[in-house]
Amino acid sequence: MTPPPESLPPIIGETKTVSRGRWAIHLVLIASFLFMVAAIGMNRGESEQPALTHSVRGLLRVCAGEIVIFGGVFALAWLASRASVDDLLLRWRGNVMPILLGIGYSVALRIAVGVVALLVAVPFLLSHSMTKDSIDEFVTKNRPRVETAVDVAALRDNPAYLWLSLTVVSFIVAGLREELWRASFLAGMKGVWPKYFSSRAGQIGAVIIGAIIFGLGHLAMGGMAAALAGLLGVGLGLIMVLHRSIWPAVLAHGFFDATSMALLPWGLEMAKHLSKH
């Protein structure tokens, strides 16, 4: 009598199929996280306390809370989908290349955001009298309300607050957390609607949808800030899709935010100086 065949080991590299329903749970959790952040920001209203508080201790407490909350949501989403390293684009590709790409892309993104801001501002100013008062009014109404996020005086006067903002806030709370959110969103869109979001063009479409949600998450800083954040989200998402890795986008985001934090006190002081002349 022939013995029953032994069960074969799993094929190396074989992917496990995950149901669209489980991917849908993943996507709902990830998308709802940023809507929750936006709602909290809007509910803060005219609070004089910036989101990152006025002190080093408060800043560390807020950063820890942000990481823990996102970590919890991300863990629940992952438990639903069991997204792989490749699903989340977590592979580091090319020695120091992601670092160099991050630096280069951060500069390119700053130029792109500046150009778009000028393209928005110039038609408005040309349609009004180009007086000092009209320019001041436009800047006052449309500049990002950075004071809702960070204490500018603390950035200028407290070295520990500044360096934590340049490192932990810029590269971990903003760069890593937000780009991991974006990669999770792209994976969820592909998992729920593979027919539409598996191709390169489909992934770009998912990037745009994610960027709109990302922009809404910045509404507490004003309409212009939300629009520019959405534009930044498109750029970072395209970097991620192009390189099939989150790391160039993480580093580009981190360098972008770090230079913004470093220049913020000087930029606001310059704006106040110009408004007096």
Mean pLDDT of 234-256: 96
pLDDT for 266 beyond 90: no
* Range with the poorest average pLDDT among 61-65, 101-105, 215-219, 235-239: 215-219
Per-residue confidence (pLDDT) for residue 15, from 0 to 100: 42
Tell me the percentage of the chain whose pLDDT exceeds 70: 78
Of 185, 271, 174, residue with least CA distance to 232? 174
The half-sphere exposure of 242 on its side-chain side, counting CA atoms within 13 A, is 11
Mean pLDDT of 217-222: 75
H helices of 143-276, in order, are: 152-157, 159-164, 177-192, 194-197, 200-216, 223-243, 247-275
* Phi-psi domain of 8 (left: phi exceeds 0; alpha: psi -120 through 50; beta: other): beta
Mean pLDDT of 2-7: 48
Of 259, 56, 60, residue with least CA distance to 154? 56
Is residue 193 very low, low, confident or very high in pLDDT (cuts 50, 70, 90)? very high
pLDDT for 97 beyond 80: yes
Mean pLDDT of 64-75: 95
The answer to whether 262 and 146 have CB atoms below 8 angstroms apart is: no
Q: For the segment 124-183, what is each residue's pLDDT rounded down to a tens digit?
A: 666 666 565 555 665 666 666 777 788 888 999 999 999 999 999 999 999 999 999 999
For residue 8, give the amino acid letter: L
**Helix%, strand%, coil% for the chain, nearest 5:** 75, 0, 25
pLDDT for 277 beyond 60: no
User: How far is the C-alpha of 131 from the C-alpha of 234, rounded, in Å?
Assistant: 34
Dihedral sign (CA 215, 221, 222, 225): negative
Q: Which residue has the tokens 């038609």?
A: 123
| 13 φ, ψ (degrees, to nearest 5) | 85, -5
* Range with the poorest average pLDDT among 2-11, 36-45, 145-154, 239-248: 2-11
Is residue 276 very low, low, confident or very high in pLDDT (cuts 50, 70, 90)? low
Mean pLDDT of 19-31: 95
Per-residue confidence (pLDDT) for residue 215, from 0 to 100: 85
Q: Which residue has the tokens 């930044």?
A: 232
More confident residue, 202 or 118: 202
Mean pLDDT of 185-210: 95
Mean pLDDT of 268-274: 58
User: How far is the C-alpha of 64 from the C-alpha of 71, rounded, in Å?
Assistant: 10
Burial of 226: CB neighbours in 10 Å, binned 0-12, 13-18, 19+: buried
Contacts of 120 (CB under 8 A, 6+ apart): 224, 227
More confident residue, 27 or 38: 27
Of 205, 207, 238, residue with least CA distance to 109? 238
Per-residue confidence (pLDDT) for residue 130, from 0 to 100: 59
Per-residue confidence (pLDDT) for residue 73, from 0 to 100: 95
Per-residue confidence (pLDDT) for residue 228, from 0 to 100: 85
Q: Which residue has the tokens 């306390």?
A: 49
Say how many C-beta atoms besides its own lie within 10 A of residue 68's C-beta.
10
Most confident of 49-53, 65-69, 210-214: 65-69
